[in-house]
Each structure stands twice: as structure tokens, then as C-alpha cells.
A and B are shown apart, each in its own frame.
Chain A
Amino acid sequence: MSVLMQEMSEKALALGVPLSVQLDLTYRCNERCVHCYLDHDDHGEMTTAEIKYLLDEMAEAGVFILTISGGEIMLRRDFFEILEYARRLTFCIKLKTNAVLIREREAARIRDLGVESVQVSIYSHRPEVHDAITLVPGSLKRSLDAIRFLKSQGLKVIIANVLMTENMQDYQGVRALAEELGVNSTLDPTVTPMMDGNRSTVRLGVDESALKQVFRDQSLVGDVDEFCAVAASPSEDQMQALPCSAGHTAAYVSPYGDVYPCVQFPLPSGNVRKQRFIDIWKHSDQLREVRSIRLKDLPSCSQCAHGSTCTRCPGLAFMEGNMRGPSTQDCEKSFARTGIPSANLLSRKPAAANLVQIRALPTLAGATA
């Protein structure tokens, strides 16, 4: 984040302005990615008119950065009508798509509408791996063709890769591909549980040894010693710090109008079909609770060696059952990075078994006494 954007975020935070919103237009998708956290059936998406009304409300509320995502956004027949309307309201628009349906014509239209960036999911440089994740034969080729169309229009494209056991060996290949295409790339080692709480997708994530390998890859993390260093205990200021922007300057709206703090934080906080967006943002009890939480309020994390550097996601913690609790996936990342177990991981060690072993010793001692 640029210094100026940081300043604007701080100002928005002080003013209570939702600076950025992710709006999912649909959960329907033309791919079936094995790690996807969504239910792809349509349970009553917002209409074009409802979405336009919401965009008006969000512009009025001060939303500047609008990420339009899904599902696959291009499956909405009114996608370009919505995009054009949003641009007329001068949002800074970022698109997330698998790009399978983007050809020359669509790329030119996206360029003409002044979209800031287009993020495309690519899981491998090898079709047999990427297509096995999307479950759509030929999808890698189509997505890469689309990236070339978008690039040829001068658009900023970002390749987003999710690290899983299935594609662990390919992340460098994806990075090389991104370089060849002249686009940026990101790598996310977190597989999100499904929004309904089903955690089966999490098992697709990489194990500790793979995480260690990734966190020691200089080409990804820069200075490995610095990245993997154990930080000092959190300072008083850090104890007062906010966990992340979710619910503070950022929000998420589902295709059904449900408002959440973040796409990865499925705490229902209101619905724009029943209330104005700004009223939900300002007065929702759920968002107020999220905003009240500081590091010092987290029973386990405030006592943890990683308190000042942990990437703890409050949404993942919420999906584990407690928004003030630890996010075990982030504990595992801190452990893989530093070799020091988090307070949460320590508390999960089989202490009872150890105690049984210790209890057995007096018996032995008694036998020799």
C-alpha cells in the first residue's frame, strides 16, 4: 500500500468511512475449483436495479475502491451494464475473474470503462494441474489467452495463485509465466473454509514442511532471516492495534445483499434489501462488535510470542468458532516461519498424555524406593 493510500485509510478509519467494498455479483461459476468456498447455486441474486441502487448508496457512503468478484462475474448477463454504471459513479474498480469468457471484445470494453486492475486465478503453468483444480478441461489456455487480450489493451493484470498440495511444485512456474506475460502475481498459502462452515477444503492446503519451504524462498519473501525472525513481544501500541481493515474501512456484500465485515469473515451484519447500506455500516451490532476488538482483547493471541507479527485473520478465527480466538491456519504459518509454536498450538499439545507419563514416574520411583 502506498504511503498516500495508507494516509487515506487512516483518515477513512477516523471518519468511519467504508473506503473499500468487495461486491460479489454471483456465486454461479463456470469452473468448479476443488478449493472453492462457495455454494454455486443461485439462491436469489440481487437484480440489476437492486445492484445499481446499492452502488448509488455505496458511492454516497464514500466507498472508493470497489472489488467486483464472484463466482464468475462474466456469468451475469448484466455485467457490463453494472460495470458501466459503477464507473459512472467513479469507483476505482478491481475485477476478480477466471477470465475464461474474456476475449478481445470484452477486454477492449473493460479497458474503455477505465477498470483499475483485473485479477485472474491461475493455479499452475501446466494444464494438467490447473485444469485438474478448476475441473474444466482447457481452462488454463482460455484464461491465459484472456490475460494476453487484457494485456494487449494496456490493462493491469494480476495473477492470483492459491497454494495447495496439488500445485505446490508449480508456484515458481506460475511466477515465471507471470513474468513472461508481463503481469504481477500473488501467492496465497491459505485455503479458506466454505462459507457454510464446512472445513473440508482446508485439508487441500499445504503441510508444514511445504510452508517452511515457501517461507524460506528468497524470491518470494526477500530477506529470509528477517522474514523468519521471531519478533519482540507486542508493544503497548501494538496491543491497541486493529486486527485488519474488515469492518473498519472495508466490507463485503454477497450476491443476495448480505453484508459481512469481509468475504473471509462470514458474520451476517445486515442485508441491503432490508436496510440502507450506510445504516448497516454505521449501526450494525455485529460490525460494532468487530470494531471493538483490539489485540489486547484476544485471550490467547495477546499472550503469544507472535502477537506483533502474526497475520491472524479474524474471519478465519470466527470460522473456527470465536472471533476473539486464534486462527489456527495463521498459527501454523507463524510456526512454519519461525519454528516457534504459537500460544494456541502450545495449548493444543497433548498435555494430558504428558501428564500421564509424568505420573508414571513416581510408580517407578516407588518401585525402587
Chain B
Amino acid sequence: MSKLYIARSPKLAARSLDGEMMIMSGADSTLYTLNKTATIIWQAADGKTSLQEIVEHRIVPEFEVEAGAALQDAEALARELAGHGILQVSEEPIPQPNSAAGEAR
């Protein structure tokens, strides 16, 4: 399985509400909410940390899940979010322009 890199799409609005991320797509004003696991992945999506590292360092210790299964779920989630245009997925690190690197809280 090749490494995947993920990055937040630049034109989104986002805010964490009690640990769950609200995301508004600027393109069509669609609102999404992410559960706590997806929120952790989304917040860590800086384009340079691989999804595997995110799962190993952020998801596995937090939720005490088996790493292989967690990575499979995370990849499926990343591709689903990419389908909605709210996450970029690549097999290479994704360079982030300074102005677009949002600081979602």
C-alpha cells in the first residue's frame, strides 16, 4: 500500500464545535460536519504528514484501535472527503500556499 498525503482544501470555512468540525464549502455553500475521528484527521491534514503517520500518532493512541484497520478506514474517509472537495489526496506531499493554509480552530 503506497503512502497517502492529505491536505485541507483551501477555500473552505471550518470551525470546531465541541470537537466536531463544521465545514462549509465555498463552492456551493454545502455544510458538512465531521465526527471526532474525522476531525482529528482533517485537522492534521497539512499536506506533508502522511495519512499513515496521522493514524499511528493521532488516531491509534486516542481511540485504542488496531492500526491496520484504522488506516483502511482513514483512507476510505479521506477519499470520501476528497469526493466532496473538502480534502486533497495525493501519493506525494501536497505543497500548501501560505495564504491558503487555514488555521481551523
Of A2, A59, A60, A90, most buried by chain B (CB within 10 Å of CB) is A90
> How far apart are B68's CB and chain A's nearest CB, in angstroms?
32
Residues on A with beta carbons closer than 8 Å to the beta carbon of B18 = 11, 15
Residues on A with beta carbons closer than 8 Å to the beta carbon of B61 = none
Inter-subunit contact A117/B33 (CB<8 Å): no
From B7-15, B50-58, B70-78, B88-96, give the one contacting chain A.
B7-15
Which listed residue (A62, A89, A117, A156) contacts B103, Cβ 8 A?
A89
**A12 interfacial contact with B, CB 8 Å:** yes
Inter-subunit contact B31/A90 (CB<8 Å): no
Inter-subunit contact A4/B102 (CB<8 Å): no
Cβ proximity bits A56-86 to B, threshold 8 Å, 1 near / 0 not: 0001101111000000000000000000100
A:23-70 near B, CB below 8 Å: 59-60, 62-65
Residues on A with beta carbons closer than 8 Å to the beta carbon of B99 = 84, 88
> How far apart are B34's CB and chain A's nearest CB, in angstroms?
12
CA distance A60 to B15 in the complex (A): 9
Inter-subunit contact B17/A62 (CB<8 Å): yes
CA distance A154 to B11 in the complex (A): 13
CA distance A114 to B10 in the complex (A): 8
**Chain A contact patch, size range:** 20 to 34
Residues on A with beta carbons closer than 8 Å to the beta carbon of B24 = 64, 92, 116
**A87 interfacial contact with B, CB 8 Å:** yes
CA distance A15 to B33 in the complex (A): 17
Given contacts A8-B31, A60-B105, contact A92 B17 (CB under 8 A): no
CA distance A12 to B15 in the complex (A): 12
**B22 interfacial contact with A, CB 8 Å:** yes
Residues on A with beta carbons closer than 8 Å to the beta carbon of B33 = 4, 7-8
Which listed residue (B12, B17, B27) contacts A12, Cβ 8 A?
B17
Residues on B with beta carbons closer than 8 Å to the beta carbon of A156 = 29
**B83 interfacial contact with A, CB 8 Å:** no
**B104 interfacial contact with A, CB 8 Å:** yes
Residues on A with beta carbons closer than 8 Å to the beta carbon of B10 = 114
Inter-subunit contact A116/B26 (CB<8 Å): yes
Q: Interface size (B, Cβ < 8 Å)? A: 23
B:8-54 near A, CB below 8 Å: 10-18, 22, 24, 26-27, 29, 31-33
Cβ proximity bits A201-241 to B, threshold 8 Å, 1 near / 0 not: 00000000000000000000000000000000000000000
Residues on A with beta carbons closer than 8 Å to the beta carbon of B103 = 59, 88-90
Residues on A with beta carbons closer than 8 Å to the beta carbon of B102 = 87-90
**A17 interfacial contact with B, CB 8 Å:** yes
Given contacts A8-B17, A15-B17, A63-B15, contact A90 B104 (CB under 8 A): yes
CA distance A11 to B22 in the complex (A): 12
CA distance A80 to B5 in the complex (A): 32
In the complex, residue of chain B having the shortest beta-carbon distance to the beta carbon of A11: B17
CA distance A114 to B32 in the complex (A): 16
Cβ proximity bits A131-157 to B, threshold 8 Å, 1 near / 0 not: 000000000000000000000001010
Of B13, B27, B32, most buried by chain A (CB within 10 Å of CB) is B13
Residues on B with beta carbons closer than 8 Å to the beta carbon of A117 = 29
Inter-subunit contact A115/B26 (CB<8 Å): yes
Given contacts A8-B33, A84-B99, A116-B24, contact A64 B105 (CB under 8 A): no
In the complex, residue of chain A having the shortest beta-carbon distance to the beta carbon of B32: A4
CA distance A241 to B15 in the complex (A): 27
CA distance A10 to B32 in the complex (A): 16
> How far apart are B7's CB and chain A's nearest CB, in angstroms?
14
In the complex, given contacts A88-B101, A91-B15, what are 20 additional A-B residue pairs having Cβ atoms less than 8 angstroms apart?
A5-B31, A7-B33, A8-B17, A8-B33, A12-B17, A19-B17, A64-B13, A64-B17, A64-B24, A88-B103, A89-B102, A89-B105, A90-B104, A92-B24, A114-B26, A115-B26, A116-B13, A116-B24, A116-B29, A117-B29
A-B contact pairs, 14 of them (CB 8 A): A4-B33, A5-B31, A17-B17, A59-B103, A62-B105, A64-B22, A64-B24, A87-B102, A88-B99, A88-B103, A89-B102, A89-B103, A114-B12, A154-B27
A residues sitting closer than 8 Å to B (CB atoms) are 2, 4-5, 7-8, 11-12, 15, 17, 19, 59-60, 62-65, 84, 87-93, 114-117, 154, 156
Name the 3 nearest CB pairs between A and B, nearest first.
Answer: A92-B13, A114-B11, A64-B15
